[in-house]
Amino acid sequence: MRKIIMAVLFLSSFYTYAFAAVGCSLDDPDRDVKRLFPDSSGYKTTFITLKEIGGEALQKDVENKLGDKLDLVYENLDVGYAYYAVLKGKDTVGYIHGVNQKGKFGVLQLVVATDLQGKILEFYYQKISSPESAKFRAKIFTDQLKDLSLADFYKYDVSGKNTQDGAVSKIVDPTANSSEDFKATIRGIKKNLILLEEFLRVKASEGGK
C-alpha cells in the first residue's frame, strides 16, 4: 500500500512539473489574438527561456526586480515563455503573453495584452481553480489592471512589507476568502511584465526580428 501511495505521489509531482515547465501559451492563438486586437492582421510567436537569454544571472536579476525567489517548478530556468507579437500589416502593434503562477487551489494562468511600451490593455485568467473564480474573472476586477505598466508594479512589494502608495496598491481584492490567489495574481502579473521587459530587450538586441 505504501508503495502505491508513493507511486501516486511521484506521478502527481511529475505531471505537475511537466505542466509547469511547458509555460503558459494561448489555448487558441487565432481566436485570442483577434479577440484582444480586433484590427490585427496576424501574429508572430516566439518562445524563450531564462536559460537561453541570460541563465542564472538573469534569474537573479528577475528575482531582485520581483522582490521574491522564483519557484523551482513553475518558474525555473527551463520554463518556456510564449510571446505573441501582434501584427497590423508589417507593423507590430502590441504583445500578448502569459505566465503560470502558483495559486492556492492550483496553477493560475495569467494572460496580458500590452501595447509596445508594456502598458496593459487587457488582462484575463486563462485558467483559475479558485472557488471564487467568477469574481476574479469579472471585469470589475480585471479592468483595474488596465493602463498599468511595470513602473506601477515596481511600487508594489510582493512580500507585502514595503508597498508604496500607487495604482497597484489601490487594486481591490474582489473576493471574501481568496486573498492568497489575489496576492498570487498581482505577483504573477508583475513577474509577467518583468519578463516582457527582458523579451523586448532581447528582441531589440537582435534588431527587432
How far is it, in rounded angstroms, from Cα 193 to Cα 98?
9
How far is it, in rounded angstroms, from Cα 195 to Cα 128?
21
How far is it, in rounded angstroms, from Cα 46 to Cα 132?
33
How far is it, in rounded angstroms, from Cα 86 to Cα 13?
35
How many distinct structural domains can be found in the chain?
Answer: 1
Residue 169 carries which DSSP code?
G
Question: Domain of 162?
Answer: 2-205
Q: How far is CA 86 from CA 6, 26, 83, in A?
A: 46, 13, 9
pTM over 0.85: yes
pLDDT tens over the chain, length 209 residues = 554 444 333 334 433 444 445 578 999 999 999 999 999 999 999 999 999 999 999 999 999 999 999 998 889 999 999 999 999 999 999 999 999 999 999 999 999 999 999 999 999 999 999 999 999 999 999 999 999 999 999 999 998 777 778 999 999 999 999 999 999 999 999 999 999 999 998 888 877 66
For residue 95, what is the enclosing H or E element? strand 91-103
